[in-house]
């Protein structure tokens, strides 16, 4: 393909892939790279620097998963033109380092929004009806019924009305649920179009039966102060970021009855560190529903993320503007540096 740089000795240029699920759907994404004269090389999905350094040295593109992309990684990749994030979030990428080294960063912002919104509703329903607890009971030989709530009779609060939050609001409205929402960056007119009642964040806990979190990470939403005003029996769903929630405050609220249930697709620390979460305590087994980052894991989302990442790689290598570039900070010059 015209514009794609050659590797040493005329070998096919290398695209490093460190996303575990890239190419595991139905779309022939690796074939598209091969057809463009590119060679796919798989590397550590946790971005182990020692393992990736020799692979990065010859790579012109990197299709990266959720593990960190650091300045040290980029320093080991003198020929790298693009980091294509296989997914939405880019908080794991050192954008300043990419800017300094002239590396384009892209992502696939709309690829998994429906999948995550579906899971958000699934987790809410599972919490409302005690699905996980019911499954364990039947396996233990008990058929004692557990009484739940109907989604259509409830008021749902949605924190963050981006693509996923809007998807959850639309799905909930289909059940007949009243939806309140908070998003400080959204024009009030959009709330009207969505049929969502604009509500201050501090009031959602007291006015809603359930609250679903879809805000970007970095700012705590659910903490002791917020939970102090919770309507008795509140359910909280988190398919966004673990740092939106103070898990110790959630555990205390579950223990004293302010929260009826908590459902999440993420935990603080994750991996081995997640084992220390208070929400894994046996006392909460029937009221805490957890999934291991299933949000984007549908065949359709995997295909869309893969196709979007491949398209970004091909566009950048051919000198075209990619569909979804990530804005990079302006590198400091010698004149502007302090």
Q: Is the pLDDT of residue 327 over 80?
A: yes
Class of domain 8-111+298-317: alpha beta
- Same topology, domains 8-111+298-317 and 113-290? Answer is yes
Q: Can 248 be counted among the known catalytic residues?
A: no
Which residue is listed with tokens 């550590």? 44
Q: Check: CB of residue 276 under 8 Å from CB of residue 269.
A: yes
What percent of the chain lies above the pLDDT cut of 70? 94
pLDDT tens sequence across 211-256: 999 998 889 999 999 999 999 999 999 999 999 999 999 999 999 9
b/e per residue, 125-163, with b = 16+ CB within 10 A? bbbbbbbbbbeebeeeeeeeeeebbebeebbbbbbbbbb
Indicate the pLDDT class of residue 269, thresholds 50, 70 and 90: confident
- Catalytic residue, chosen from 20, 42, 293, 320, is 293
**Domain segments of the chain as ranges:** 8-111+298-317, 113-290
- Catalytic residue, chosen from 241, 258, 287, 324, is 241
* Mean pLDDT value across residues 100-104: 98
User: How many other CB atoms are there within 10 angstroms of residue 62's CB atom?
Assistant: 31
Q: Can 224 be counted among the known catalytic residues?
A: no
pLDDT tens sequence across 22-81: 999 999 999 999 999 999 999 999 999 999 999 999 999 999 998 999 999 999 999 999
- Catalytic residue, chosen from 79, 129, 270, 300, is 270
pTM assigned to the model = 0.88
Indicate the pLDDT class of residue 295, thresholds 50, 70 and 90: very high
Q: Is the pLDDT of residue 332 over 80?
A: no
The per-residue pLDDT for 2 is 47
Which phi and psi (to 5°) does residue 112 adopt? -115, 10
Q: Where are the beta strands (DSSP E) in the chain?
A: 14-17, 39-42, 59-64, 82-85, 104-106, 155-159, 178-182, 197-198, 210-213, 234-238, 259-264, 288-290
Q: Is CATH 3.40.50.720 the classification given to domain 113-290?
A: yes
Q: Is the pLDDT of residue 144 over 60?
A: yes
């Amino acid at each position: 393909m015209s514009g794609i740089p050659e590797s040493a000795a005329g070998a096919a240029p290398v695209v490093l892939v460190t996303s575990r699920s890239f190419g595991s759907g139905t779309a022939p994404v690796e074939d598209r790279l091969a057809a463009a004269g590119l060679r796919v090389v798989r590397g550590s999905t946790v971005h182990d620097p020692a393992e990736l350094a020799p692979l990065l040295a010859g790579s012109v593109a990197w299709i990266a998963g959720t593990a960190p992309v650091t300045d040290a990684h980029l320093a080991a990749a003198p020929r790298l033109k693009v980091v294509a994030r296989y997914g939405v979030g880019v908080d794991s990428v050192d954008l300043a380092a990419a800017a300094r080294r002239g590396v384009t960063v892209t992502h696939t912002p709309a690829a998994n929004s429906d999948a995550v919104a579906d899971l958000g509703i699934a987790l809410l329903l599972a919490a409302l009806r005690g699905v996980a607890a019911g499954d364990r009971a039947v396996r233990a030989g008990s058929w004692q019924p557990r009484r739940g709530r109907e989604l259509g009779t409830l008021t749902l609060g949605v924190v963050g009305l981006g693509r996923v939050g809007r998807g959850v609001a639309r799905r909930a409205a289909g059940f007949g649920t009243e939806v309140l929402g908070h998003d400080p960056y959204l024009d009030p007119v959009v709330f009207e179009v969505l049929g969502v009642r604009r509500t201050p964040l501090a009031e959602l806990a007291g006015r809603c039966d359930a609250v679903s979190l879809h805000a970007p990470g970095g700012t705590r939403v659910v903490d002791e102060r917020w939970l102090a005003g919770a309507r008795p029996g509140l359910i909280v769903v988190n398919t966004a970021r673990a740092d939106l929630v103070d898990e110790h405050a959630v555990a205390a609220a579950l223990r004293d009855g302010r929260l009826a249930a908590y459902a999440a697709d993420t935990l603080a620390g994750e991996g081995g560190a997640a084992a220390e979460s208070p929400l894994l305590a046996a006392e909460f087994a029937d009221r805490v529903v957890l999934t291991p980052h299933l949000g984007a894991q549908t065949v359709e989302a995997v295909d869309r993320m893969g196709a979007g990442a491949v398209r970004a790689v091909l566009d950048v290598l051919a000198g075209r503007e990619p569909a979804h570039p990530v804005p990079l900070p302006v590198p400091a010059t010698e004149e502007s540096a302090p």
